[in-house]
């Protein structure tokens, strides 16, 4: 299930927690889910604390109590969004697969994630408008990305040892490439469709783009 749909589901708490703690955790989670939707739809400047509170079934005082202010709440939403994609990448269990199969799975996952989680594009667009000033405050996000880059470096090393990947690939450059070929396509799908008079949001065009991305990246990696 896509993270944006997960964001709309009720949060669960461990059954052993006291009722007050469960209620607090549930309220906090409801606010985070509501904020994700509001920020994805309207950006940081357009989002309204009143609307987030209304969506969450909470009040503004509770929101400020848990998160401090709108910018701090936006940072927590960003951290949650990054945590979801990085956790999903680790759940692919790439270390258990042959290098080529593992790389294909990672490329496909990265491309398809922008379909399953369109809110991620909106949040990235917003944070780039603000020159990443929120991300710079987050050690959690830096730690998440060091983990996935390390995983990618190990995968490249295995592939080079098996003779299927070239041995001079920078894992960070590869990471950026895999993300960008999907991000650019989906963040610009409407303008591209208009310019080239093709419906790039159609299933057929998305499948064609997916195959192209796979061939381009795997072709580059080939030993």
How many folded domains does the chain comprise? Answer: 1
Q: Which two tokens stand for residue 93?
A: 């269990």
CATH number at residue 26: 1.10.357.10
pLDDT value of residue 13: 43
Q: What band does 218 get if pLDDT is binned at 50, 70 and 90?
A: very high
Range of the domain at 56: 3-221
How large is the average pLDDT for residues 176-185? 95
pLDDT in tens, 46-55: 999 999 999 9
pLDDT value of residue 23: 77
Q: In the predicted model, what is the mean pLDDT of the chain?
A: 89
Q: Distance between CA atoms of 106 and 124, rounded to whole angstroms?
A: 20
pLDDT value of residue 22: 64
How large is the average pLDDT for residues 58-76? 91
Given a cut of 90, is residue 14 above it in pLDDT?
A: no
For 134-140, the CB contacts below 8 A with 24+ separation are 134/71, 134/74, 134/75, 134/78, 135/75, 135/78, 137/75, 138/75, 138/78, 138/79, 140/79, 140/83
Number of alpha helices (DSSP H) and beta strands (DSSP E) in the chain: 11, 0
Q: Which two tokens stand for residue 163?
A: 């003779």
């Amino acid at each position: 299930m896509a993270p944006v749909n997960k964001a709309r589901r009720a949060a669960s708490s461990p059954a052993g927690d006291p009722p007050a703690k469960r209620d607090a955790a549930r309220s906090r989670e409801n606010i985070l889910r509501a904020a994700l939707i509001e920020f994805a739809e309207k950006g940081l400047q357009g989002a309204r604390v009143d609307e987030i509170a209304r969506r969450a079934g909470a009040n503004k005082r509770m929101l400020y109590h848990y998160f401090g202010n709108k910018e701090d709440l936006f940072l927590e939403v960003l951290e949650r969004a990054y945590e979801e994609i990085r956790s999903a990448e680790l759940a692919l269990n790439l270390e258990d697969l042959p290098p080529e199969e593992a790389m294909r799975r990672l490329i496909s996952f990265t491309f398809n994630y922008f379909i399953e989680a369109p809110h991620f594009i909106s949040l990235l667009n917003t944070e780039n408008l603000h020159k990443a000033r929120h991300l710079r405050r987050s050690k959690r996000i830096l730690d998440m990305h060091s983990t996935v880059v390390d995983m990618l470096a190990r995968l490249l090393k295995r592939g080079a040892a098996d003779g299927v990947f070239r041995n001079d690939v920078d894992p960070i450059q590869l990471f950026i490439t895999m993300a960008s070929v999907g991000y650019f396509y989906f963040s610009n799908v409407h303008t591209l469709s208009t310019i080239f008079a093709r419906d790039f949001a159609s299933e057929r065009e998305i499948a064609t783009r997916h195959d192209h991305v796979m061939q381009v990246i795997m072709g580059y990696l080939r030993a």
